[in-house]
Structure formats: structure tokens, C-alpha cells
């Protein structure tokens, strides 16, 4: 089993998915025992962090009992049979509402599971809850007009990030090993960084999703790379409902550490002044990671980022107009239920001209071309995930200004638009013990290679600090 991060005996809720499956196979413990332990741990943490939506303990125990019987008969349903998992609010689950974190959304039970949920269920995973998110996924924050405020387990005064806020908080708190988030500008990687996790934004189309949208992906949020790879072996299976998904592939998802000798790695720290200034602890942590790769034989060179102020503002305009189109269809009294920060941000979309909106959308093509050119010279790029270390739980974003909403996504959003795989992996901590992530980006479709690079970095980094402990009454 994976080495515990402390001298204490590792609790069942803290075990990786890889170790749970091994334990089930060896009859060391059962899915029912694991689910009971996870639910007890949730009960201890949830009043403090409020990461979950639609928690259903009875259904979870029933599913765990069925899984326990299958394992007793040596007939597991799939590679994740009996492993606890959560999925984000905005990933449809059959028979349940999907409020998108917003009080302005009608809560109607849905007719079918979205592809990520369908694949997890087919593999035997126990989806025992959904996780919180901000309104319409348009914040990197745990703030929502519908869900309670979600807090970061590492420091309850701080934000877990978003929009996969509950997923990040749940994974850091030990709500089982597997959590699915979505990412259109950093919404997996940012909370993964601020919560000390592994968070993979796959290549666009690698994981079928419904509904698809420009740059939008679903991906794993876990504590270790091996669990993220195991999830990808399931999530990446085909689903014809997503017309943007990649063809079925025979990728080998059981990743090994990637040899780094003579690998060409670009170190991206300088963004030319666009976005938040890079804070000293983030810079130092990223430089230390670069040196670790260099000491392992890689050729590391500094590269300048290609995102410009004009590009970031263009994306801002495009996304404002996109959300305003949805909000404008609502009755005024319903629209008013939206989080004020989001409503104030989106309302400016009404004043944009068609040319301005199209110009904003065209930024996606420019970013894609720039990324392709960069990867002519490099095998991988490493960078910070976020320019800042942390921000208050009550803030809607690190800057907390609806007229400057995306200053913190400057290292993450280019890779959504370019469709490259990118992963956040914990690289260190600030002086207060708050986690800082490293981003590793690969060429389009090199998801396995990015996971391998992250696994290599896990080894170079060494043992992580112990995970946060649940608050005591």
C-alpha cells in the first residue's frame, strides 16, 4: 500500500482507490466498512467545510452492501467496485436536480446520468454525494447563492477555490479517494492547488461530457497521481452523446514515472505583466520544482507566457455575453436570485456589440495557435497554477472585483482554449502550512505523459505533509 503521510495507522477513509481495491481483493476490509468510515468522517468535517450537496448515506450503505457481496463472491462489477466517489453539482445524475450552484436555476430531477457519472457507476464506484460549486461555475470560489459557503480544510478561514470548490474541499478532508470536477478556465487545477491535490484537466474531448462547450472538460481530483490515472481509465471511455469527444483509444492508464533525462521543459513564470503579480512563495516553490527536474536530467529553460491583456479581456467579454444570454431569459425576480457578484459581472455582457463578442471568442483560436507553436520546442511546460497562495473564504475571487474577475486564471486558462492536458500537483507549502501547486502541461492528447510527469514529480518532491485533521467538537 501507499505509505501513510504520518506515523499513525492510515484510516480507511484516507486510503487511495488503488489501495482500497487491493484491500478488497485481499479481504482486508469490505466496501461496507470503508463506506461507514467515510460517512463518519464526513459527519465530523461537513459542519465546518460544507463541501457536499445531496449526501445520501442510506443509498451509499445499500450500494456498499451490494459491492461487499460481489467482492465476497469474487465478482467485482468493475475496476472501481466499492470505491467511494463524489461528482460536482454540474454533472448530471439521474433523478436528481442540478442547480449549478445558483438559486436562480430550477431544480428539476434529470432524466439521465451524464457520461462521467455513467462510467463511474459502470465501474462500480459508489457515488454517495455531489459537491458544491459557485453560481454557474463562473467563480474560482466556494461562494454560492444556493449552496452554503464552502471552506478550505487546510485553513477554515480560507477559500478552497473553484469552481470545483466542494470537490477540492472534500478530497482534502478525506471524503474518500475519488472526486470529479469540471474545468473551463482552471476550475479543477485551482482548487487542486489550494487544497494540496492532484487535479487533471484532460485534453479536450478525452473525457466525454454533456453538455460540451468550448474548453470545458471533466477530470479527476485526487490525493495521488495513481488514483487520477485509475479514474481516467474509466472516465475516458466513449459516450456518443458528446459530439466533441475523441475517438476510443487504447491508452495504458497505469502510469509509471516518466524518465526526465534530456526532456525539454519550459519554465513559464513571466506573463508579461498580465494578471495578478506572482507572489514570492509561489515563485520560490515553482523554481524549486524546476530545479528538481533539472537535477533529474531535464533541460529546463525559461519561456515567456503568450497570454496578453487583450486576450484575457476578450475571454472576459465572451463569457459575460454567454452567461448574460442565459440570465436574460429568466424572469427579473428569478434572475435577481443570482449571486450579486455574478449578476453584476454578467450584466455588462448586454452592452457588448456582436463584434466585441466574436472578437473575444476568436481569442480561443489565437491561444491554440500560440500553444502549438510553443510545443514545437518543448516536451512539457511547468508553471504556477495560481499566482497567489490563498484568499479569504468569503471572497468571490482572489481579487474580489467583478470588473477584474480573471486576474488569477492567467496560468490556467490558456490550456483550456488550446485543448492541452494540464495537471496540478502539490509542490510545497507557505510558511503557514498552506499548499501551493505546480502545473505541468503537455502536448495535446499526451494525457498519459502529463500523468507520468506528475508521478515523477511526486517522487522528486518526496512525502507530503499530513492531511488536515477533522475539527473536534
* Residues paired with residue 72 on neighbouring β-strands, in sequence order: none
Active site residue 163: yes
The answer to whether residue 473 is domain-embedded is no
The answer to whether residue 8 is domain-embedded is no
Phi and psi dihedrals of 451, rounded to 5? -60, -40
Q: Does a cis peptide bond (omega within 30 degrees of 0) precede residue 211?
A: yes
The model's pLDDT over 183-219, given as tens digits with 9 standing for 90+, comes to 999 999 999 999 999 999 999 999 999 999 999 999 9
Catalytic residue among 88, 237, 390, 455: 88
- CATH code of the domain covering residue 200: 3.90.1300.10
Maximum pairwise Cα distance, the chain: 64
Active site residue 88: yes
Cα 302 to Cα 23, 52, 265, 305, 388: the distances in Å are 44, 41, 9, 10, 20
Q: Does a cis peptide bond (omega within 30 degrees of 0) precede residue 328?
A: no
The answer to whether residue 18 is domain-embedded is yes
Q: Is the confidence at residue 24, as pLDDT, over 80?
A: yes
Q: Is the confidence at residue 5, as pLDDT, over 60?
A: no
Average pLDDT over residues 449-458: 98
Q: What's the CA gap between 349 and 26, in Å, rounded?
A: 57
| 141 membership: H or E segment, kind and range | none
The answer to whether residue 468 is domain-embedded is no
Q: Looking at residue 152, what is its pLDDT?
A: 98
Q: Looking at residue 9, what is its pLDDT?
A: 61
The model's pLDDT over 124-142, given as tens digits with 9 standing for 90+, comes to 999 999 999 999 999 999 9
The answer to whether residue 322 is domain-embedded is yes
The model's pLDDT over 154-189, given as tens digits with 9 standing for 90+, comes to 999 999 999 999 999 999 999 999 999 999 999 999
Q: What region, left, alpha or beta, does residue 11 occupy, with left being phi > 0 and alpha being psi -120 to 50 degrees?
A: beta
Q: What region, left, alpha or beta, does residue 105 occupy, with left being phi > 0 and alpha being psi -120 to 50 degrees?
A: beta
Catalytic residue among 163, 164, 386, 397: 163
The model's pLDDT over 46-93, given as tens digits with 9 standing for 90+, comes to 999 999 999 999 999 999 999 999 999 999 999 999 999 999 999 999
Average pLDDT over residues 250-260: 93
Number of domains in the chain: 1
- Do residues 117 and 134 touch, judged by C-beta distance below 8 A? no
The answer to whether residue 264 is domain-embedded is yes
Average pLDDT over residues 276-304: 98
The answer to whether residue 6 is domain-embedded is no
Q: Is the confidence at residue 8, as pLDDT, over 80?
A: no
Active site residue 249: no
Cα 263 to Cα 203, 288, 296: the distances in Å are 21, 17, 10
Q: What's the CA gap between 331 and 157, in Å, rounded?
A: 36
Catalytic residue among 16, 67, 145, 187: 187
Q: Is the confidence at residue 4, as pLDDT, over 80?
A: no
Q: Looking at residue 464, what is its pLDDT?
A: 87
* Residues paired with residue 147 on neighbouring β-strands, in sequence order: none
Q: Looking at residue 224, what is its pLDDT?
A: 98
**How high is the mean pLDDT of the chain?**
96
Q: What's the CA gap between 8 and 469, in Å, rounded?
A: 12
The model's pLDDT over 102-119, given as tens digits with 9 standing for 90+, comes to 999 999 999 999 999 999
DSSP 410: T
Average pLDDT over residues 274-293: 98
pLDDT confidence tier of residue 463, bands split at 50, 70 and 90: confident
The answer to whether residue 7 is domain-embedded is no
What sign for the dihedral angle of Cα 332, 334, 337, 338? negative
C-alpha cell at 179: 472526486
Q: Which domain holds residue 22?
A: 14-461
Amino acid at each position: 500500500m501507499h505509505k501513510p503521510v504520518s506515523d499513525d495507522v492510515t484510516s480507511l477513509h484516507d486510503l487511495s482507490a488503488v489501495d482500497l481495491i487491493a484491500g478488497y481483493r485481499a479481504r482486508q476490509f469490505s466496501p461496507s466498512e470503508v463506506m461507514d468510515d467515510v460517512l463518519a468522517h464526513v459527519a465530523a468535517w461537513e459542519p465546518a467545510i460544507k463541501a457536499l450537496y445531496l449526501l445520501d448515506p442510506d443509498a451509499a450503505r445499500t450500494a456498499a452492501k451490494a459491492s461487499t457481496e460481489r467482492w465476497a463472491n469474487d465478482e467485482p462489477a468493475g475496476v472501481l467496485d466499492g470505491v467511494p466517489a463524489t461528482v460536482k453539482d454540474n454533472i448530471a445524475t439521474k433523478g436528481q436536480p442540478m442547480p449549478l450552484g445558483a438559486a436562480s436555476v430550477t431544480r428539476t430531477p434529470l432524466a439521465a446520468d451524464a457520461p462521467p457519472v455513467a462510467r463511474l457507476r459502470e465501474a462500480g464506484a459508489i457515488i454517495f454525494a455531489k459537491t458544491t460549486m459557485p453560481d454557474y461555475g463562473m467563480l474560482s470560489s466556494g461562494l454560492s447563492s444556493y449552496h452554503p459557503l464552502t471552506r478550505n480544510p487546510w485553513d477554515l478561514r480560507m477559500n478552497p477555490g473553484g469552481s470545483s470548490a466542494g470537490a477540492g474541499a472534500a478530497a482534502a478532508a478525506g471524503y474518500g479517494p475519488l472526486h470529479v470536477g469540471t474545468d473551463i478556465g482552471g476550475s479543477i487545477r485551482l482548487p487542486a492547488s489550494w487544497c494540496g491535490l492532484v487535479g487533471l484537466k484532460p485534453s479536450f474531448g478525452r473525457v466525454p461530457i454533456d453538455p460540451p462547450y468550448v474548453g470545458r472538460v471533466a477530470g479527476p481530483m485526487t490525493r495521488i497521481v495513481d488514483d487520477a490515472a485509475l479514474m481516467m481509465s474509466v472516465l475516458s471511455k466513449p459516450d456518443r452523446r458528446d459530439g466533441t469527444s475523441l475517438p476510443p483509444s487504447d491508452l495504458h492508464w497505469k502510469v509509471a514515472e516518466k524518465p526526465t533525462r534530456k526532456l525539454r521543459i519550459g519554465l513559464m513564470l513571466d506573463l508579461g505583466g498580465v494578471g495578478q503579480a506572482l507572489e514570492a512563495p509561489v515563485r520560490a516553490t515553482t523554481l524549486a520544482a524546476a530545479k528538481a527536474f533539472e537535477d533529474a536530467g531535464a533541460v529546463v529553460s525559461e519561456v515567456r507566457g503568450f497570454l496578453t491583456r487583450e486576450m484575457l479581456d476578450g475571454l472576459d467579454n465572451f463569457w459575460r455575453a454567454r452567461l448574460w444570454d442565459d440570465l436574460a431569459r429568466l424572469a427579473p425576480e428569478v434572475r435577481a436570485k443570482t449571486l450579486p457578484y455574478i449578476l453584476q459581472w454578467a450584466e455588462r455582457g448586454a452592452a457588448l456589440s456582436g463584434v466585441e463578442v466574436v472578437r473575444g471568442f476568436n481569442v480561443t483560436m489565437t491561444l491554440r495557435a500560440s500553444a502549438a507553436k510553443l510545443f514545437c520546442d518543448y516536451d512539457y511546460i511547468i508553471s504556477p497554477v495560481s499566482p497567489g497562495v490563498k484568499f479569504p473564504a468569503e471572497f468571490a475571487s482572489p481579487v474580489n472585483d467583478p470588473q477584474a474577475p480573471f486576474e488569477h486564471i492567467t496560468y490556467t486558462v490558456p490550456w483550456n482554449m488550446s485543448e492541452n492536458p494540464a495537471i496540478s500537483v502539490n509542490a510545497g507549502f507557505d510558511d503557514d502550512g498552506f499548499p501551493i501547486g505546480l502545473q505541468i502541461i503537455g502536448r495535446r492528447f499526451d494525457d498519459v505523459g502529463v500523468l507520468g510527469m506528475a508521478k515523477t514529480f511526486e517522487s522528486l518532491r518526496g512525502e507530503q505533509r499530513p492531511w488536515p485533521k477533522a475539527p473536534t467538537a
